[in-house]
Structure 1
Amino acid sequence: MAVEFVGTVPLILLLVAAVWQCVLIGYAFSLAGNAADEAARAGAVEGAGACAAAAREHIGEAWGIQVICTGQGDVYKATVKLGIPVLHPSLDFGSIEGTGGAATEKEAE
């Protein structure tokens, strides 16, 4: 029984690590999409400075956040890129991109 235990523990730990990495990737998708939506809304109302600030408001610098805000016609768009956290620093999983858009708001004349 001890031999079976020693043989299966590494497999169980590997499975737990793989599931945890999948959870981190899913959470990064959620964060990037939400940050892009908030940034686009803030940019549509207040401009580019507010766009970048809104994207960074709830995301720490450990995620390696990059924000691109652009106004295209009547739509204000924001793109947020986040680095994917990994179990070991030498591994590189790339980045995840979230996009959002909002109608540009203009004052009534």
Structure 2
Amino acid sequence: MSPRRGVRGRDRDRGQVAIEFVGTVPLILLLVAAVWECVLIGYAFSLAGNAADEAARAGAVHGTQACTTAAGEHVGAAWKLQVRCEERGDIFWSRVTLAIPVLHPALNFGSIHGTGGAAMERDGE
């Protein structure tokens, strides 16, 4: 007869914690990646809105060329900025679109487009 014939208690659960850890780590990493992407999207929309406000303000005062320049002042090249500026009567409109990377730009998983828009009334002279 083997001395371990009636294995009971803690000896039976050996390795259980390791198995549970290995099983939950991918879920935790997936959750962290999802939270990171949400933060990245929120930051990008905030950045696009601010760039559109700056562009509309500069365009209303100085014209279309200033609109495009002002939009790019606070946005890095990694965001692949696209700016559209136009006048409609006394209102100057700007629309800024950014390419939001999925997780990280170096991973090359593609991008999501985030858009911000603003309008500013021209100063009556």
Which of 18, 33, 46 aligns to 2:62? It is 46
Structure 2 counterparts to residues 1-109 of structure 1, below 5 A: 1-87=17-103, 89-107=107-125
Q: Structure 1: where are the runs of 5+ without partners?
A: none
Deviation of the 1:92 alpha carbon: 2.7
Deviation of the 1:6 alpha carbon: 1.0
- Higher RCO (Cα < 8 Å, 6 or more apart): 1
Distance 2:79 2:50 in 1: 14
The one-letter code matched in structure 1 to 2:50 is: N
CA deviation profile, 1:88-108 (whole Å, cap 9, x unmatched)? 54423431111000001243x
User: Over aligned residues, Cα RMSD in angstroms?
Assistant: 1.2
The one-letter code matched in structure 2 to 1:7 is: G
Note if contact 2:48-2:98 (Cα within 8 Å) is conserved in structure 1. yes
Could you tell me the TM-score, scaled by structure 2's length?
A: 0.81
The one-letter code matched in structure 2 to 1:99 is: G
Partner of 2:10: none
Q: Structure 2: where are the runs of 5+ without partners?
A: 1-16
Task: List structure 1 runs of 4+ shifted beyond 2 angstroms.
Answer: 88-94
Distance 2:78 2:124 in 1: 35
The one-letter code matched in structure 1 to 2:43 is: Y
| Aligned-residue identity in percent | 62
Could you tell me the TM-score, scaled by structure 1's length?
A: 0.92
